[in-house]
Structure 1
Amino acid sequence: MTDVAQRIAELRNELDAHNYRYYVLDEPSVPDAEYDRLFRELQALEAEHPELVTPESPTQRVGGEALSAFGEVRHEVPMLSLGNAFEEDDLRAFDRSVQHGLGVSGGDLFGGGAEIEYSCEPKLDGLAVSLRYENGQLVRGATRGDGSTGEDITSNVRTIRNVPLKLQGKGWPQVLEVRGEVFMPKSGFEELNARQAESGGKTFANPRNAAAGSLRQLDPKITASRPLEFCCYGVGQVSGELPGTQVAMLQQLKAWGVPISRELKLAKGVEACLDYYRDIGQRRMSLAYDIDGVVFKVNNIEDQQQLGFRARTPHWAIAHKFPAQEELTELLDVEFQVGRTGAVTPVARLNPVKVAGVMVANATLHNMDEVARLGVMIGDTVIIRRAGDVIPQVMAVVPERRPRNARPVHIPEQCPVCGSAVERTQLVKRSKGKESVSEGSVYRCVGRLSCQAQLKQAIIHFVSRRAMDIEGLGDKTIEQLVDEKLIGSPADLYKLSFEQIIGLEGFAEVSSNKLLAAIENSKRPSLARFIYALGIPDVGEETAKVLARSLASLARVRQALPEVLTYLPDIGLEVAHEIHSFFEDAHNQQVISALLGECGLELQDEGELSAEFSAVATLGGMLDKLNIPTVGPGAAQKLAERFGSLEGVLNADWLDMRQALPERQAKAVREFFDQAANAQRARAIEQQLREFGMHWQSEKKVAEGLPLAGQTWVLTGTLEVMSRDVAKEKLESLGAKVAGSVSAKTHCVVAGPGAGSKLAKAGELGVKVLDEAQFLDQLKAYGIEA
């Protein structure tokens, strides 16, 4: 794996972990500033190396997953995150990009173009929610979740006193989805903590955690007892027309009884936005609620639509964050935690200190390179920052305060969880004819699934919704199963008995039988889901789909050599080596064999090699993939044309070789194949190409293409026979791209009950619309059963 690919993988893993703790557990573990730094670093690396971007990257998507304790809600219009500005120049750069996107810049390089109108409002520090009104009645409340799927919290939002259960006035759309923030005012937070302390209950670290925890109570009576408030900042799905500007739209919502920010203002031009930011920043501590910045949105709705979206953020809005707040404290100790991939991460234990109103006792140090960069020692006085007023980080050491008994930080030689050896990662960089190895920044426990920390996370991934989708196996249940030594690998899930499950905390007869049924129902996964569930390094959901769609059998995926895998779309040599190494591992082989053997899993969608890859290889291309020193595609093609076969190249003498290539290249080729291992490798690759049907002499199948190749489909409303995730899989298996919005390029819209704005947009554009019955009929015509 290259240095860049390794760093991208590390960043994605770390950001995913932070997202989970922040959005799902409400237990943030790093400051916003550190998260933002990691996120910007990942964005920069992916911008430089777009071939490494994957759909599951945190940049492509919003962090967090729905909690299993609540029902799931699919957002018809995704609930996106916002890009961030940290300096005034960041905001000016955003303004210039808006002007450019609207074609109205007309100014110089220093931003002297047309002045854009922006809506301005505080960025509340709470939990993003969606409220759905039908015919003026509140029918559903949901959290943002991962942006596409959230938690159904209808019973809880109905208890929030300033949430209207019925809209006031008249003229509201038949379907109106209101989006905003649920938060807890400072005074209510202080009163709640006082009550909790008096009764011996849990006190909350800050108002955001208190709001999130209150809104996620399974008992609505508890939520009703908490001083929560709601503030609207926008809309999602709307079946009718609303005013054409952001400010006017919010004022209309206010007229219907929906609370909006009292600080909402209209600003003309970026300098007026900065004046608003400075003013509210000065008044920040006197506000009745916590804020961590200001949100600016292009005011004109048509301009918003013209500017559009990135993968996870709109081009027309930005959050201008306030500077972090810092304090000094003593570093008491450094402990080490073990993550899913085995990464051993140093964690700072601090003398508790109040930073921006919150007591801070722990901070992450990321890795040992960061410890070395900071020069931190145990006993040091360190600067702690709570950027965005949420999570702490160690920013720097105050060397002049270092005590004489300060101790250096050493990485443990044995894993603190399982006692296995801890080794520094090795970064392998492959180029023409050679490999270079350098040390990575991460240390890993080599215990793998014998390490309980790694085992728990591997099984959590295996059962997740987009993997094997075993409902009822939450994180705590998996931790119990591992701690009780009832499971030691994913295969052991399928051996669990009723007696073992009912003995777990929180399980009774009904829930135990329900879990056993869910495990049984997971035994017929698609090939793509199974590959993704295995947790192969660097293989996300989309790469798993590529492997399944192209090679069409687990046997071929397991056998595939790295060079053969690189014939598949978007699979580079480094990822190919990760896939090959995973399936070569003896333990992984045992687990897979157990799953497919004694556990009885039956993979679906297996078959013949995809027609588009039959006879796809050429001799010249194969020679190029061998990475012979000094030999590029052109020289490889000359060898192919000269000798016509691999054996011809392998057996060519010096004079024959010189007829095809210059002396230096001819010498490099001859020396390369004079090494028996290289010749053996080349023959093995050719043999596998023959076995797979990819060899240049293989029969070329008619690549008629998939029936829906090149078409874009949109799913909207509620599908009753199959979930929308399953419908998406069916469409993708036929070659279609499934998009989240309707445009003139959309081929067809599948509309179930509750379809709203997307269905209306399809009607406006004349896009073909199918109901669910018609959609199922079309799938059946292609040989796909529901």
Structure 2
Amino acid sequence: MTDAQTAAERIAQLRSELDAHNYRYYVLDEPSVPDAEYDRLFRELQALEEAHPELVTPESPTQRVGGNAASAFGEVRHEVPMLSLGNAFEEQDLLDFDRRVREGLADLLPAGDLFGGGAEVEYSCEPKLDGLAVSLLYENGRLVRGATRGDGTTGEDISANVRTVRNIPLRLQGEGWPEVLEVRGEVYMSRAGFEALNARAVETGGKTFANPRNAAAGSLRQLDAKITASRPLEFCAYGVGRVDGELPDTQIEMLEALKRWGVPISRELKLVKGAAECRAYYQDIGERRDSLAYEIDGVVFKVNRIEFQRELGFRAREPRWAIAHKFPAREELTELLDVEFQVGRTGAVTPVARLKPVQVAGVTVSNATLHNMDEVARLGLMIGDTVIIRRAGDVIPQVMQVVTERRPADARPVQVPTVCPVCGSQVERTQLVKRGKGKESVSEGAIYRCVGRLFCQAQLKQSIIHFVSRRAMDIDGLGDKIVEQLVDKGLAKSPADLYTLAYEQVVELEGFADLSTRNLLASIADSRRPSLARFIYALGIPDVGEETAKLLARALGSLERIMKALPEVLTYLPDVGQEVAYEIHNFFGDEHNCKVIAELLERGIELQEEGDVAAEFAACATLPGFIDKLNIPGIAATGAKKLAESAGDLEAIIALSQDWLTLATLKGLNEKARQSLRDFFSVADQAQRARDVEAQLREFGMHWQSQRKVVEGLPLAGQTWVLTGTLEAMSRDVAKDKLESLGAKVAGSVSAKTHCVVAGPGAGSKLAKATELDVRVMDEEGLLALLAEHGLDA
């Protein structure tokens, strides 16, 4: 046997021993050798690998020291989205969650007892670690990738860094693990590790961290993995993502399987039954919270049976089968040093408390939100006061109460600035307009607003930042700092100026060179063909979020109609109330906003997906409903119906309102209602407004005399589809969008209720599950043919 063979055998033996010791120390918490012995074995392995570098492998325990500094993190697209959890802050929230779970599983749970008690659901329980969510991808038992959660859909590739976390196995132990296994969990820092890290920073004159979570997140996102390797990070698994293979059919058994394969899980993991046992677990962990070795901010409850999890599915960005029950916020006393005012995208001038720094639930708090001046008045807050600070939901610092008995003699009242602290324009208090039957009431609002609009650099910067954001115009590379430079240098006085930027202007910006300049200009050019919905959202209309923007685009079909729509017409759209309707109308009635939109269109914006008013809104108005929407005092739905039946059209109703003798004979209206009708249409402006609204309904094809359209159901409505494997003609996101546009629900897992699975190259467990359940399977060619059949291109 050669020396190399002898060394290889000893290296293999040492690696096996060290892996076993790591498993017993980090996963089982049962170290079998003292630290000195572990260190001796480790040093021996290091010496052998230095003598035989050809025998070094990435899985060796010695390779957890990190590599050279990286220039940036790559992106990782999560095949199964890393969703956030819904929160419970009160006991009733937990009870409501349990009730919704039982209602959702009504057909699968056994019947209750004779005395009315319903069947109880089994839940897995574990503490909610305060760290950074990560994904670990294992292929054939080897760790091949680590990624951050990111926005849930796209994270950052931190593979080099996660390899340095000492309790993350580089190879899975035992046997039986799936061919592809994505483990999800939390990277965190223990209290002791955090304190030691900060103590070293103080000794070396370095920067200290505010809390263990920030320390863990900052450590894991170092460009130099050697720095990550020097930090006392740990990992705890709480679930899985992509799996190509078989796993146990309960949450608890699945986590226990991960533990057998060398992956750390919570030592506090427990199975309970019903809401009462969940509450008992929550109370127990809460009482022991300060004695735990790590920071937690609550408890996570998950329906234990995986089958039940699939049945319950997801809502928006969170699963229906899990909830995080947060602990009550922790409070501390501190001093209010000052109140400053910040200016937001819509011009709102918001007070912010500047506090004497204080530790609240492990975080150093020096600023807190005050929301608005009504909140300042409610608190009776004065500068110099001692205040109670709370981290609401352990996240947002908030001033809860003033300790008036500690108020100093020199305390000063909080004064709203009369001019904007950024641009010097006037600051005005908003007016609240409440519209009812025949009258409007105006009161002072809680918000103060800078009237400078885009002349105000704070508003301009925030407007452009919103305009270029991913869910709006999606201009990659235009981050906050770059937008600030463009505004400060006078290169962007409105969002439209982005489309006139020249190479010479961009390349002079801080941080730009030839390639980055060309990339940014290309990204701006690529954004010139947004969907109508994206463009409406990007404009930043007050109270108009993504869903309302999509509704406006789908319902009215064109920018021209949206811009000219009267508030009364907008209220025919679902979930658009009077206040939002007036916000939309007022936005497009503003001369400056119209000028910016015109400039955007002149500079090359080409809106996509414009068309006619949606079929379901054609002839959607009725004459009785129209009369009711006029808000004539004393005339509700019944009276409106009587008027419509008697008169037949608007002009006849206006004429009838002034014909007192005929009106007096009309049944169904009392004298007060008849007088209100007469008074309403006696005002020329009100009669003309009613005519204008009717004319627009007719113009849009929404009038009761307009031609009705056949409302055809979407071809895939009610069907659940699943995408798996690699698609070549389009990304999975694009395929999902196109299937959803045809009415399909695109799910992340296969069940007996799945209508079809689209399987590309590399499809694994989902394809196998579809075959097992006899679910229809389609390849990418079939998907493209289906999309083409319905007029959709790849």
- Deviation of the 1:514 alpha carbon: 0.6
The match for 2:85 is: 82
Aligned mate of 1:616, from 614, 620, 633: 620
The match for 1:641 is: 645
Q: Distance in 1 between matches of 2:120 and 2:563?
A: 58
Matched-pair contact (CA < 8 Å) for 1:142–1:154: yes
The match for 1:432 is: 437
The match for 1:666 is: 674
1:781 aligns with 2:793: no
The match for 1:32 is: none
1:157 aligns with 2:165: no
Matched-pair contact (CA < 8 Å) for 1:99–1:105: no
The SS at the match of 2:383 is: coil
Matched-pair contact (CA < 8 Å) for 2:496–2:596: yes
After the TM superposition, which residues 126-525 of structure 1 pair with which residues of structure 2 at under 5 Å, given as runs? Answer: 126-267=131-272, 276-306=281-311, 308-386=313-391, 392-525=397-530
- Deviation of the 1:511 alpha carbon: 0.9
**Structure 1 stretch displaced more, 697-706 or 228-237:** 697-706
Letter in 1 for 2:629: K
Letter in 2 for 1:656: T
**Structure 1 stretch displaced more, 465-474 or 515-524:** 465-474
Letter in 1 for 2:782: Q
The match for 1:627 is: 631
Matched-pair contact (CA < 8 Å) for 1:246–1:299: yes
The SS at the match of 1:656 is: helix
The match for 2:124 is: 119
- Deviation of the 1:78 alpha carbon: 3.4
- Deviation of the 1:98 alpha carbon: 5.5
- Deviation of the 1:388 alpha carbon: 5.9
1:655 aligns with 2:658: no
1:642–1:354: structure 2 CA closer, same or farther, 3 Å change rule? closer
Q: How many residues align?
A: 717
Q: Distance in 2 between matches of 1:382 and 1:609?
A: 54
Q: Distance in 2 between matches of 1:740 and 1:654?
A: 66
- Deviation of the 1:116 alpha carbon: 5.5
Root mean square deviation of aligned Cα = 3.1
Q: Distance in 2 between matches of 1:581 and 1:306?
A: 45
- Deviation of the 1:755 alpha carbon: 4.6
1:607 aligns with 2:611: yes
- Deviation digits for residues 331-360 of structure 1, max 9, x if unmatched? 111111222232222222222233444433
The SS at the match of 2:788 is: helix
- Deviation of the 1:519 alpha carbon: 0.6
The SS at the match of 1:81 is: coil
After the TM superposition, which residues 708-723 of structure 1 pair with which residues of structure 2 at under 5 Å, given as runs? Answer: 708-709=716-717, 711-723=719-731
The SS at the match of 2:416 is: coil
- Deviation of the 1:739 alpha carbon: 5.0
Q: Distance in 2 between matches of 1:703 and 1:90?
A: 40
The SS at the match of 1:609 is: coil
- Deviation digits for residues 223-267 of structure 1, max 9, x if unmatched? 333322211011223233322333222111011111112333344
Between structure 1 and structure 2, the one with the greater Rg is 2
Letter in 1 for 2:635: V
1:758–1:454: structure 2 CA closer, same or farther, 3 Å change rule? farther
Q: Distance in 2 between matches of 1:316 and 1:784?
A: 35
Letter in 1 for 2:553: A
The higher relative CO (CA closer than 8 Å, separation ≥ 6) is in 1
Q: Distance in 2 between matches of 1:418 and 1:603?
A: 33
- Deviation of the 1:537 alpha carbon: 1.9
- Deviation of the 1:607 alpha carbon: 2.8
1:558–1:721: structure 2 CA closer, same or farther, 3 Å change rule? same
- Deviation of the 1:406 alpha carbon: 0.9
1:626–1:725: structure 2 CA closer, same or farther, 3 Å change rule? farther
Unaligned runs of 5+ in 2: 1-70
Aligned mate of 2:686, from 643, 655, 678: 678
- Deviation of the 1:773 alpha carbon: 2.8
- Deviation digits for residues 77-101 of structure 1, max 9, x if unmatched? 3333334445667656656666665
Q: Distance in 1 between matches of 2:88 and 2:111?
A: 20
Matched-pair contact (CA < 8 Å) for 1:459–1:489: yes
The match for 1:551 is: 556
1:726 aligns with 2:726: no
The SS at the match of 1:385 is: strand
Q: Distance in 2 between matches of 1:299 and 1:706?
A: 35
- Deviation of the 1:172 alpha carbon: 1.1
Matched-pair contact (CA < 8 Å) for 1:527–1:548: yes
After the TM superposition, which residues 9-24 of structure 1 pair with which residues of structure 2 at under 5 Å, given as runs? Answer: none
1:585–1:172: structure 2 CA closer, same or farther, 3 Å change rule? same
**Structure 1 stretch displaced more, 262-271 or 375-384:** 262-271
Q: Distance in 2 between matches of 1:164 and 1:348?
A: 46
1:761–1:657: structure 2 CA closer, same or farther, 3 Å change rule? farther
Q: Percent identity?
A: 74
Letter in 2 for 1:697: Q
- Deviation digits for residues 25-55 of structure 1, max 9, x if unmatched? xxxxxxxxxxxxxxxxxxxxxxxxxxxxxxx
- Deviation of the 1:468 alpha carbon: 1.1
Q: Distance in 2 between matches of 1:249 and 1:596?
A: 55
- Deviation of the 1:182 alpha carbon: 0.7
Matched-pair contact (CA < 8 Å) for 1:340–1:457: yes
**Structure 1 stretch displaced more, 181-190 or 554-563:** 181-190
The match for 2:573 is: 568
Letter in 2 for 1:78: P
- Deviation of the 1:474 alpha carbon: 1.5
Matched-pair contact (CA < 8 Å) for 1:712–1:739: yes
Matched-pair contact (CA < 8 Å) for 2:726–2:760: yes
1:277–1:578: structure 2 CA closer, same or farther, 3 Å change rule? closer
Letter in 1 for 2:482: T
- Deviation of the 1:494 alpha carbon: 0.6
Letter in 2 for 1:647: E
1:307–1:679: structure 2 CA closer, same or farther, 3 Å change rule? same
**Structure 1 stretch displaced more, 285-294 or 735-744:** 735-744
Matched-pair contact (CA < 8 Å) for 2:619–2:706: yes
Q: What is the TM-score normalised by the length of structure 1? A: 0.83
The SS at the match of 1:335 is: strand
Q: Distance in 1 between matches of 2:561 and 2:119?
A: 59
| TM superposition outliers: structure 1 runs of 4+ over 6 Å | 111-115
The SS at the match of 2:150 is: coil
- Deviation digits for residues 536-568 of structure 1, max 9, x if unmatched? 222222222222222222111111112222333
**Structure 1 stretch displaced more, 742-751 or 258-267:** 742-751
The SS at the match of 2:696 is: helix
Q: Distance in 1 between matches of 2:191 and 2:597?
A: 53
Q: Distance in 2 between matches of 1:728 and 1:457?
A: 31
Matched-pair contact (CA < 8 Å) for 1:377–1:408: yes
- Deviation digits for residues 143-179 of structure 1, max 9, x if unmatched? 2233344333333323322222322222111222211
- Deviation digits for residues 412-468 of structure 1, max 9, x if unmatched? 222222222222332222222222223333322222222222222221221122211
1:189–1:706: structure 2 CA closer, same or farther, 3 Å change rule? same
1:93–1:592: structure 2 CA closer, same or farther, 3 Å change rule? closer
Matched-pair contact (CA < 8 Å) for 2:569–2:693: yes
Letter in 2 for 1:641: E
